[in-house]
Amino acid sequence: MLALVLGFTATPAQAASLTEVTGFGSNPGNLQMFRYVPDGLPAGRPMVVALHGCTQTAAGFDNETGWTKWADTWGFALLLPQQKSANNANSCFNWFEPGDFSRGQGEALSIKQMVDRMAADYATDASRVYVTGLSAGGAMTSVMAASYPDVFAGAAVVAGIPFDCARTMSAGLSCMSPGSDLTAQQWGDKVRAAYSTYSGAYPTMSVWHGTDDTTVKPMNMTELVEQWTNVHGTDATADVSDTVQGYPHKVYRDGSGRAVVESYSITGMAHGQPVDPGSGATQCGTAVQYIPDMNICASYRIGEFWGLAGGGGGTGSLPAPAGLTVTGTTDTSASLSWNAVDGAASYRVYRGGTQVGTPAGTSFTDTGLSAGTTYSYTVAAVDGSGTVGATSAAVQATTGAVHQCYTDNNYNQVVAGRAHTSGGYTYANGSNQNMGLYNLYETHTLEETSPGYFVISDAGCPA
């Protein structure tokens, strides 16, 4: 069978409210439906659909990846579809079968019917439904985002495949390794063809991949970024390139400045989804095979990108503020503005899910930040009784870099981690500018223009 096979060690669900649901529709894909819903979840909350990898189950994917923690913390309903071995011997979602990846058919329709059942049972917010998955589940996430763009506001593919990369099992193996290299236009056309009469907005996309993944080659991350930047009408040149917890992170914005695609390249990670076990505000998960401890919680960062990390979510009736925009940044501050909400007595501003301000008006400046760092912000309106309303979509603000300058010989620059060697020559990290021979005698000044990115500035620093 198709070798998106993940050898997970299934762990019992950590909460009794992980329950199976039957009778959710015609279920043409013959899937199972599980859900985790925090006690007392009010109406109007978001929904997250999480799709497991091969040989995995709903119970072996919910808490291990951290999604149940964030359901409790942020207040959303969690839907966990489950494949049956009768459909695929390795319990993989059949992302490569046209009868299962097409709108209105097979497994894709079964998952859509589960979403409808959750919405009917819990009155979730139809404008805030999100989908994510790992490996075969990541490939199926591409399917759902492309085939049902009218259902999902955001998607996140972890170690997965672009939409419509394959239509047979053998082609699916080729997509996994070595990968399929198409133009951004060709990839985008595949998504647009999935629902050819659709003219609305497409889901935002977060893409995660390990640099050492030999099961699904890392070029799939590049192709996914090309596919979804093209769908959103932007190019595949990042507007923001930074590091988050030490890992390369890129953000791609549309013409209005909205972050529509992001990518995380997890250095040294093989096939899997990264977690950061612990009780900290940004930590999550349990490290098992193919869910490695990489000191970064993917589910937290994905939820942050979607705007879920806004203080746990309000229960009031006020709508989410629209038009949240970064109006300016310095090395240590970020300024925001948003549209007024009728009935709002004040607002709450959240940075990475933590409340940082309670302005009465529609603007706020967050201070005391670190230079050269990207922060995620959301905002919610508060009515006269102090009840918090719905949380806005997130925006990212990157503070300016404090340019550090270092003058030393090439040998010491390499020892300090500012440069590297190849073929007897020295090259600046980041820019890869040639600094000459690797020795103690040739000296240069390197300027760090962003974290880990150095340029030669012998003529004067800052340049």
Give the residue numbers marked as catalytic: 135
Tokens 């996994």, residue located: 176
d(CA 161, CA 242): 24
CA distance to 427, 432, 448, per residue, from 437 (Å):
9, 14, 21
Under 8 Å between Cβ of 372 and 401: yes
Under 8 Å between Cβ of 153 and 204: yes
d(CA 73, CA 66): 11
C-alpha atoms less than 13 angstroms from C-alpha of 403 in its C-beta half-sphere:
13
3 state SS of 164: coil
Per-residue DSSP letter, 206: E
- Kind of pairing, strands 334-337 and 363-366? antiparallel
d(CA 334, CA 353): 16
d(CA 382, CA 390): 9
State how far Cα 332 lies from the chain centre: 25
d(CA 211, CA 218): 6
